[in-house]
Amino acid sequence: MKRYIIAFALLLVGTLCARAQESSVIVSKYGSEPLKIGSVEEWEQVHRPVIMNFFEQEVYGLTPLRQVGITYEVVEEAQGALGGKAIRRQVAMHIDGMETPVYILMYIPANAKGPVPAFLGMNFKGNHQINPDEAIIPSPNAPVTKGEPLRGAASSRWPVEYVVESGYAVVTLNRDNVDPDFDDGFKNGPHPLFYTQGQTAPKANEWGTIGAWAWSLSRVMDYLQTDKDIDSNKVAVLGHSRLGKTALWAGAQDQRFAIVISNDSGCGGAALSNREVGESVEVINRSFPHWFCDNYNKYRNNESALFIDQQGLIALMAPRPVYVASATLDQWADPVGEYLSALYASPVYELYGLKGLVGPQPAPDSPVRSGHVGYHLRTGKHDINIYDWQQYVAFANMHFFGK
Ligand code: GCU
């Protein structure tokens, strides 16, 4: 077995320090450059753990290792949903210590011959907003108008019929049902469940809200592994914008997600931070102080100090297929920076003999999805719509079924 010697600038813990004493691989700041790594072995043994540690300690914060008790209860199920196209299943995730269950909504293709692949993603405004289906249990904490939930208001973002007809289940849960998206000093959501005695807020290197959302996606995956209708080896995790940042962080930590998809995730997601185009680390931490860990504040107006930029996050998916999408009018998310991250992560895929991205950013509406790193730049605004989903279904078809 090869021995490694690591010299690097970053604080590392435990086994990494042990390896550091006996190494021949030099790890120094990666910055915002393409990831040129010597071999798969070096990537897996040295670079990946170092990069993961950086994102845990300095960006999203550590997810607690400790488990809490969770039970899953199917609270509603119907054949013949969506005009006969789907089975609808709603599962309450009861998390010990949390008053309100988290509701998981599933649409599963009707008449499937066996377990089906799935797209799993969080929604912004409630499960009941993804489709007008009256039977959807309104997500707790979601907005209402005149006492009525806004059923179907986000259906353009969730083309459920199309996805189900394509042979995939749609699985979703609401972000505010897991951890409300405002800064309350981490009193609500799952954070307090993990505090040590006397602790009242996460430490500087402990998870924020994106970390909690990502954790919940893994807890849904725990359930999917037990659902006989789902092929849990074929679950693509996806998300739009802040929930795209979340999908990436979930995919980085949990290798059970077979494909990871970022839609317009921007700063703190797919986009390189050190370009300082669109949203900056300063602005995102000022506007959303609860999303990341406190250590991330070190990089406000100081992006060049980042040990590694967001290309490192994309590379953490390797060798699993990853897809990054941008939109032409979404300059706030820096489409060029999103593309460059995926491009700069591509050499890691190439180590595995897999095809990454090459060359300049593709023209609008010219998706590149023949390899393991997919990308498209959709014409239009910051959003997720049928065009984006069509690319994701095609990408998943290729990787899951070779078609
Ligand atoms: C804001 C925020 C972005 C985020 C977006 C969203 O624009 O600045 O970082 O991605 O909201 O979630 O829609």
Residues 3-39: tens digit of each pLDDT: 444 444 444 444 444 454 455 788 999 999 999 999 9
Residue 338 Cα to ligand 1 middle (Å): 14
- Within 8 A by CB and 6+ apart from 10, the residues are 50, 53, 54, 307
Residue 201: per-residue pLDDT:
97
Query: Which of the four pLDDT bands, split at 50, 70 and 90, describes residue 191?
Result: very high
279 ligand 1 Cβ < 6 A: yes
Please measure the distance between the N-terminal and C-terminal CA atoms of the chain and give it in whole angstroms: 39
Closest residue by Cα to residue 89 from 137, 126, 121: 137
Task: Give the mean model confidence (pLDDT) for residues 321-342.
Answer: 98
Q: Are 293 and 58 in contact (CB under 8 A)?
A: yes
Query: Which of the four pLDDT bands, split at 50, 70 and 90, describes residue 397?
Result: very high
pLDDT over 80 at 2, yes or no: no
Residue 329 Cα to ligand 1 middle (Å): 14
CA distance 36 to 311: 12
Residues 240-284: tens digit of each pLDDT: 999 999 999 999 999 999 999 999 999 999 999 999 999 999 999
Q: Which atom of ligand 1 is nearest to the CA of 124?
A: 12
3-state secondary structure 309-339: CCHHHHHCCCCCCEEEEEECCCHHHCHHHHH
User: In whole numbers, what is the pLDDT of the chain averaged over residues?
Assistant: 94
Residues 375-387: tens digit of each pLDDT: 999 999 999 999 9
Residue 313 Cα to ligand 1 middle (Å): 18
What is the pTM (predicted TM-score) of this model? 0.95
Residue 282: per-residue pLDDT:
98
Protein residue with its CA nearest to atom 13 in ligand 1: 241
Strand-pair partners of 91: 74, 104
CA distance 296 to 281: 8
pLDDT over 80 at 143, yes or no: no
Which of 242, 284, 338 to mutate to test ligand 1, by most ligand atoms within 8 A of the CB atom?
Answer: 242
Residue 23: per-residue pLDDT:
59
Residue 24: per-residue pLDDT:
77
CATH architecture of the region 70-272+309-401 = 3-Layer(aba) Sandwich (3.40)
Residues 281-320: tens digit of each pLDDT: 999 999 999 999 999 999 999 999 999 999 999 999 999 9
> Looking at the chain, how many residues does it have?
403
Residue 245: per-residue pLDDT:
99
Lowest mean pLDDT among 14-23, 119-128, 194-203: 14-23
Secondary-structure percent of the chain, ordered helix, strand, coil, rounded to 5: 35, 20, 45
Q: Which atom of ligand 1 is nearest to the CA of 287?
A: 8
User: What's 287's DSSP letter?
Assistant: H
